Structure 1
């Protein structure tokens, strides 16, 4: 089967330099001619002729823009502080609503994609959290952009990551895959759903699979995870075993759920099977490759 694809949006090449975030003097000292500013049009990045991220200087930041410290780039032996400017508006729409994002994920190399994904999640959160959830007052950037502080009640707010389980369910050598409502015909992937308050990952897997398919699963195991910056999720990839294969499909969420054989999954990942497999940059692709190789 060959090598599995790297997990997209993982492996950022820069040092997040957490120790500097709470040091205003150190941060101010890095905002000089060596500092780099990620070139963005709202939340979309600019690319050069080699499809690499474009970087400018802090002088390119819009007037009165809030700047977020991304970390320090030491990849070429130097130390380049990296920043991004918070856009006027965030974007909580699903990634399917923007075809440019799909092209971008297939274009950027792994390091640039990871760096962009982290920056996008962070500045999008800032753009959508300018007011305090406690009192409604204005908030401002703190800790280099890894916190916001209320100017009225001094409440502290931190960037959020929403955990999502994405899981394979197996029964007698077959794999459960689903097609969500509104998905293209023939496109199948692993079932997925948000972890709810008060749940373990294992409980979320069991609940989500049962809710969407009517199938009870057990022996849940963790496989891999993926940051997913649309707007800011952590996809937690898992595997489980089903007690039976009788389906009761939740038609409010799912268009189809089908059990596929190993041969059908393998041929579909190769591009000539009975369903359209997830793209390489989706963790579902990696999970299916893992299942074939285990």
Structure 2
């Protein structure tokens, strides 16, 4: 099975969740310590945007035993992700100096997650748990001090809370909502390019939801700010957790009420209208000019594919 086949329409990466989060166990330190030392306990080890993996004859193994992870240099603090078939699964971080010591070894590697996902090197059923581990490890690394008084905070409740010993403030991991939308105008759709995209790649426009803003307003605002296009009839499609570092992509469709594009060059390299025939070729990566749409691991691919197949036509 190719990486493209791993993500059929409506099933981008990070959405298939196989863990029981077992939140009732988070406040029981005694049970958590017992789970961590359980022989079936496993962990995903995160380093920045990468995973620590075992290189074996059958390929890369991303789920390590807790003891194995610690011996390889992972930080001792574990984040309880949940249970899979009754076995505990944790997230762990690893410091840069520990990673340096592993770089000369042939049996382990620190591999960039996005590349592994796009190549189909990670079982799709594990991606949601990996996304959880990556987001949580990143949150702990960036929120070690109390935002209220500046005191060093302590990990609590299996890693799902940090608590300040001084002012007693409680800090919880956050998820940032992001709207990502396909805007159509008759038999055309609006796609944009960012400077960091691969040559030939076009995708949906997207942006963060602001404070006290509805999803619908965020869609209309972002589209207008980035492209100068006014739109209406905002509809919801699906969401995708996105661990970069911790966002929730909210997939929407909208109908344009204008078609003259004014690109915000601070946000986009370019934006233009594409016909359905063009986008069909881009979606299947058969366009004669080498243009292509987002990879199937991303929700943008599925928003575009849904329109290609006529599922969200909104008229002229």
Q: What residue number does 1:197 align with?
A: 211
Q: What residue number does 1:94 align with?
A: none
Rate the CA distance shift 1:185–1:99 in 2: closer, same or farther, 3 A: farther
* Secondary structure of 1:25 counterpart: helix
Equivalent in 77, 100, 104 of residue 66 of structure 1: 77
Partner Cα distance (1:72, 1:63) in 2:
20
Partner Cα distance (1:244, 1:174) in 2:
12
* Matching of residue 105 in structure 1 with residue 79 in structure 2: no
Equivalent in 173, 192, 198 of residue 187 of structure 2: 173
Equivalent in 204, 221, 231 of residue 245 of structure 2: 231
* Matching of residue 33 in structure 1 with residue 49 in structure 2: no
* Secondary structure of 1:40 counterpart: strand
* Secondary structure of 2:167 counterpart: coil
Rate the CA distance shift 1:227–1:137 in 2: closer, same or farther, 3 A: same
* Matching of residue 284 in structure 1 with residue 284 in structure 2: no
Partner Cα distance (2:135, 2:283) in 1:
29
Q: Which piece of structure 1 moves more, 117-126 or 177-186?
A: 177-186
Ranges in structure 2 where 5+ consecutive residues have no aligned partner: 97-109, 312-316
* Matching of residue 141 in structure 1 with residue 155 in structure 2: yes
Partner Cα distance (1:238, 1:104) in 2:
27
* Secondary structure of 1:175 counterpart: strand
Q: What residue number does 1:20 align with?
A: 25
**Once the two structures are superposed, what CA deviation does each residue of 1:242-286 show, in whole Å capped at 9, x if it has no partner?**
002111111111111111111111111111225221111011001
* Secondary structure of 1:254 counterpart: coil
* Matching of residue 151 in structure 1 with residue 156 in structure 2: no
Ranges in structure 1 where 5+ consecutive residues have no aligned partner: 90-97
Partner Cα distance (1:99, 1:171) in 2:
41
Q: Which piece of structure 1 moves more, 273-282 or 228-237?
A: 273-282
Query: Are the counterparts in 1 of residues 83 and 89 from structure 2 also a CA contact under 8 Å?
Result: yes
Question: 1:173 deviation in Å?
Answer: 1.4
Question: 1:36 deviation in Å?
Answer: 2.0
User: Structure 1 length normalisation: TM-score?
Assistant: 0.89
User: Structure 2 length normalisation: TM-score?
Assistant: 0.83
* Matching of residue 80 in structure 1 with residue 80 in structure 2: no
Query: Are the counterparts in 1 of residues 227 and 271 from structure 2 also a CA contact under 8 Å?
Result: yes
Rate the CA distance shift 1:181–1:99 in 2: closer, same or farther, 3 A: farther
* Secondary structure of 1:144 counterpart: helix
Q: What residue number does 1:55 align with?
A: 64
Partner Cα distance (1:133, 1:143) in 2:
19
Question: 1:41 deviation in Å?
Answer: 5.7
